[in-house]
Amino acid sequence: MYLAELQFKVIADTDFTSAESAIRRYIETLIFNGQVLGREFPTAWQQDSFNSRIVLPDEQALQQKHHSDKGLDALQQLAPAGLAYPQVHILGMDLMSQHTDPCHSADFYILYSRFNDTCSPVRCGEHFAPVPLYLLNTEAADHEKLIRWQLQYQALDEIQMQQTRVLVKSAERSLQQLNSRLNKQGRQLARQLERANNTAVYYALYSGSSNNCEKEPDKPCPGCGGNWRLKQPLQQLFDFKCDNCRLLGNIAWDCQSPS
């Protein structure tokens, strides 16, 4: 990932409110299309320009050919707010976030997220590296639904990772139960992505605790009840894979002996 600065030069009379809302609108369209990562974009007003700090999945991420229609429209709305088209300055590699997947097309994808990710929730099946969403087809106008799903997933994961947890069980249930609203939504989004890209998309079903650790390594697929245990773990993370249900799973973390 790359740390970058977007510079919006002031080209006509403007006021802070209209400049701020035009910039916010533009950058949010980039976020919901996977061209900008994370939710924060600190912005400073420096004499004749506004400068926003952003994280990009790739150096080319902001090329107009990757914009959604909403992004192109928001770009046109900068001029009426007194701002020029933005200039991108790449500041360097972001050391805090994952590296983007090198594949042009993957054999399969994995929908996966954790609380501390700053990256796309879609991973390459081979490298487990994040795939920028703007490079994937979607049935919708952009990837907003997937990004909003990821935000909720990360928020719940954050809650159940804390030492002194509030809402422990309800957060864990949302992440762990196949038919929680969160997982239903995620699996539906995975199916849509699979259709739009003609590539299998597996949903990574989180497993934190179990009430029977003895049976945990042989638990059946929660979708079809079949045997889904892998001989070799995938990406050192997944012990289970069901091709019919497009599910990946792990032996509950609480049941794994620390090595």
Interacting residues with Zn ion (CB under 5 A): 101, 103, 124, 126-127, 221, 223-224, 242, 244-245
As measured in angstroms, the least distance from the Cβ of 128 to Zn ion is: 8
Q: Which is nearer to Zn ion, 242 or 252 (CB)?
A: 242
Rounded-to-integer distance, Cα 175 and Cα 171, Å: 7
As measured in angstroms, the least distance from the Cβ of 200 to Zn ion is: 14
As measured in angstroms, the least distance from the Cβ of 104 to Zn ion is: 9
**CB of 3 closer than 8 Å to CB of 88:** no
Q: Which is nearer to Zn ion, 30 or 135 (CB)?
A: 135
Task: Single out the residue of 126, 257, 249, 238 nearest to residue 187, CA to CA.
Answer: 249
Length of the chain: 259
As measured in angstroms, the least distance from the Cβ of 168 to Zn ion is: 28
Q: Which is nearer to Zn ion, 101 or 239 (CB)?
A: 101
As measured in angstroms, the least distance from the Cβ of 193 to Zn ion is: 16
As measured in angstroms, the least distance from the Cβ of 92 to Zn ion is: 23
3-state secondary structure labels for all residues of the chain: CEEEEEEEEECCCCCHHHHHHHHHHHHHHHHCCCCCECCCCCEEEECCEEEEEEEECCCCCCCHHHCCHHHHHHHHCCHHHCECCCEEEEEEECCCCCCCCCCCCCCEEEECCCCCCCCCCEEECCCCCECCHHHCCCCCCCCHHHHHHHHHHHHHHHHHHCCCCCCHHHHHHHHHCCCCHHHHHHHHHHHHHHHHHCCEEEEEECCCCCCCCCCHHHCCCCCCCCCCEEEEEECCCEEEEECCCCEEECCCHHHCCCC
As measured in angstroms, the least distance from the Cβ of 11 to Zn ion is: 42
Rounded-to-integer distance, Cα 43 and Cα 90, Å: 16
Q: Which is nearer to Zn ion, 71 or 223 (CB)?
A: 223
Q: Which is nearer to Zn ion, 61 or 242 (CB)?
A: 242
Q: Which is nearer to Zn ion, 71 or 222 (CB)?
A: 222
Q: Which is nearer to Zn ion, 4 or 124 (CB)?
A: 124
